[in-house]
Amino acid sequence: MIEVLKGGILATIQDGGRPGLRNQGVPVSGAMDSLALQAANLLLQKPPLAPAIEITFGQTQLRFQKSGWVALTGADLGASFDNEPVTPGWRFHVEPGQVLHFRQPKKGFRAYLAVSGELEVPQVLGSASTDISSGFNAPLATGDELGWRPEGDFQAPLFVRVPGTGRLRVLPGPEYESFDQEAKTLFWHNDWTIGSLSNRMGYRLNGPKLTRLVGDELPSHGVIPGTIQVPGNGQPIVLAMDAQATGGYPKLGVIIAADLWQLGQLGPGRRLGFIPVTMAEARLAWQQQQAYLKHLEEFVAAH
Amino acid sequence: MTLTWSPLGDSALVLNLNDPGVEAQRQLHWLAGQLAGKAELLEAVPGMGNLTLLLKAPGADLDALAGHCLALWEKRPAQSHSGKLHLLPVRYKGPDLHLVAEYTGLTEEEVIARHSGTTYEVAFVGFMPGFAYLTGMDRRLAVPRRAEPRVQVPAGAVGIAGSQTGIYPRQSPGGWQIIGYMEQPLFDVTREPPALIQPGDQIRFEVRHD
């Protein structure tokens, strides 16, 4: 069992989400930083998209009631393990009564804690992910007890590094050409600030106003996490993992699949920038990321 | 009527109709059905006059996939309706019924008769789990949204906003004018598929008095 001593700002269970149900109106959800989730699970030789705890911003406090192995990845949220600092990237052993305490972000925004064996959490439509707006599962609350069945043993703690965040690589969206030249230039060359009304559904960006050549209303269409929409006020919204399945705002661009995880490490008040890429570059980036995960899996197996 | 396409990032594409109507929307649902089970495809999501295709993993050849879709589209049947007809009982006792009557200049009975006297067609499902976008409402019933949205609209509430009508699948904030309620759950995670109403289905509201 894992005892939630403090729920914190927002801690939820996340896995690979609920892909394939958008035509039922169901958001995909799942880990905001899927790369960190996969790294945490691979450190424990588990399926990469198995459920883990996503800790947003910090304040969360967990007490382990069993002996087993855990892995911490993603943001550095000032975590300490029995009062010793622990940085992301580590797999380590826990004993009954030991406490993992997250304070506040030093780097990044969301940390992931995976546990060896099984986390006993309810599945809704094939996923343990919490989706607050759809009402599927709830965030961790102070006093919650998470069922845990540890399995497997490792010889020693292990550390892996994950890629750092940078400018987000973007492919032009279907309505890209409907924006005027100045808007396009501003979009690529300005650093945007993530607004305070940002969450797992979407990030509202603050910056110069982007205008379109045509002001037509679009009929509703499917949208995906990473879609950069521009509503009438000219301020972009980047859709995140809990985004609704359909929307109607013009799509200026889409973050490439290999960079989507970076959104998870950005939060309100942070700045972000975009760079244009080609489809071929996007494909290569995806292949490189898959190769990195393969390498990580082999590294863990060899240690 | 032509079907065009554009990429949506590296793992999706959007098919767009330039001049959609009811029959074209049915043909899009037919196309979505034809694409179901295609190996590299995660799903086809209908919108209003468009269809978004999502890949299982990035990297597949979007041009080839789009080419396949455009070729299928050329073979679409002229009459393609295959959706289910749902008869949904509604108690027309919503708090905004009198307001809709006042705004439209109809009596409450006339509002109910017009709202329940139409066969609606589901253009697509989106916004929230199980929320169906219906087409075919009587134009006389169009009313503006509430100036101040309600904090909580109960699940099953039947509402009107502009020229649209729809049902709230779950309790949520909402600005639609609520004219009635239905009891049957619209979304059930234990059902397969979970949404009661599917894209392309038809709906008739039945007046319940008890």
In the DSSP assignment, the letter for residue B187 is: B
**DSSP letters of A15-30?**
SS--TT-GGGT-----
Peptide bond into A172 cis (omega under 30): no
* CB-CB under 8 Å, A227 with B128: no
From A274's Cα to the closest Cα of chain B, the distance in A is 14
pLDDT at B20 over 80: no
* CB-CB under 8 Å, B9 with A256: yes
CB-side neighbour CA atoms (13 Å) of B201? 19
Q: Which residue has the tokens 């509503």?
A: A231
pLDDT band per the 50, 70, 90 thresholds, residue B19:
confident
* CB-CB under 8 Å, A171 with B58: no
Extended strands (E) in A135-283 = 145-149, 158-159, 168-172, 192-194, 202-206, 221-222, 227-229, 237-239, 246-247, 251-255, 271-272, 274-276
From A281's Cα to the closest Cα of chain B, the distance in A is 10
Convert the pLDDT of each residue in A254-279 to its tens digit: 999 999 999 999 999 999 999 999 99
Q: How far apart (Å, rounded) are the C-alpha atoms in residues B112 and A134? A: 30
Residues of chain A in contact with residue B127, where contact means CB-CB under 8 angstroms, are 25, 244-246
* CB-CB under 8 Å, A26 with B48: no
Among A20, A245, A287, the residue with its CB nearest the CB of B42 is A20
Mean pLDDT of chain B: 94
Residues of chain A in contact with residue B54, where contact means CB-CB under 8 angstroms, are 19, 22, 222, 224
Strands A145-149 and A84-85: unpaired
The predicted structure's pLDDT at residue B63: 95
Please tell me the pTM assigned to this model: 0.95
The predicted structure's pLDDT at residue B127: 87
pLDDT at B1 over 90: no
Mutation pick from B31, B45, B128, B163 vs chain A, by most beta carbons of A within 10 Å, is: B45
In the DSSP assignment, the letter for residue A127 is: B
Convert the pLDDT of each residue in A103-154 to its tens digit: 999 999 999 999 999 999 999 999 999 999 999 999 999 999 999 999 999 9
From B9, which residue of chain A is nearest by alpha-carbon distance?
A254
The predicted structure's pLDDT at residue A192: 97
Chain B residues interacting with chain A (CB cutoff of 8 angstroms): 6-12, 14, 16, 20, 32, 42-52, 54, 57-59, 62, 124-131, 133, 169-170, 187, 189, 193-195, 198-199
From A136's Cα to the closest Cα of chain B, the distance in A is 9
Neighbours of B109 (CB within 10 A): 11
Q: Is B27 helix (H, G, I), strand (E, B) or coil?
A: helix
Mutation pick from B8, B13, B62 vs chain A, by most beta carbons of A within 10 Å, is: B8
The predicted structure's pLDDT at residue A214: 85
* CB-CB under 8 Å, B125 with A24: yes
Give the whole-number percent of chain B exceeding pLDDT 70: 100
- In tens digits, chain A (303 residues) has pLDDT values of 999 999 999 999 999 999 999 999 999 999 999 999 999 999 999 999 999 999 999 999 999 999 999 999 999 999 999 999 999 999 999 999 999 999 999 999 999 999 999 999 999 999 999 999 999 999 999 999 999 999 999 999 999 998 899 999 999 999 999 999 999 999 999 999 999 989 999 999 999 999 999 877 788 999 999 999 999 899 999 999 999 999 889 999 999 999 999 999 999 999 999 999 999 999 999 999 999 999 999 999 998
The predicted structure's pLDDT at residue A5: 98
CA A234-A236-A238 angle, 5° bins: 165
Q: Which residue has the tokens 């309706």?
A: B81
Element (H, E) at B62: helix B62-74
The predicted structure's pLDDT at residue A80: 97
Residues of chain A in contact with residue B46, where contact means CB-CB under 8 angstroms, are 23, 222
Give the whole-number percent of chain A exceeding pLDDT 90: 94
* Structure tokens, B96: 């905004």
As a whole number, mean pLDDT of residues B16-41 equals 91
Q: What is the CA radius of gyration of chain A?
A: 20
* CB-CB under 8 Å, B124 with A23: yes
Convert the pLDDT of each residue in B132-181 to its tens digit: 999 999 999 999 999 888 999 999 999 999 988 999 999 988 899 999 99
The predicted structure's pLDDT at residue B21: 84
Whether A88 and A113 have beta carbons less than 8 Å apart is answered as no
The predicted structure's pLDDT at residue A2: 98
* Structure tokens, A1: 């069992």
Q: Which residue has the higher pLDDT, A161 or B20?
A: A161
Mean pLDDT of chain A: 96
pLDDT band per the 50, 70, 90 thresholds, residue B206:
very high
In the DSSP assignment, the letter for residue A268 is: T
The predicted structure's pLDDT at residue A60: 98
As a whole number, mean pLDDT of residues B80-98 equals 93
pLDDT band per the 50, 70, 90 thresholds, residue B51:
very high
Phi and psi torsions of B162, nearest 5°: 60, -135
Mutation pick from A177, A223, A246, A279 vs chain B, by most beta carbons of B within 10 Å, is: A246
What burial class does residue B28 get, using C-beta atoms within 10 Å of its C-beta: 0-12 exposed, 13-18 middle, 19+ buried? buried
From B6, which residue of chain A is nearest by alpha-carbon distance?
A174
The predicted structure's pLDDT at residue A259: 98
The predicted structure's pLDDT at residue A14: 98
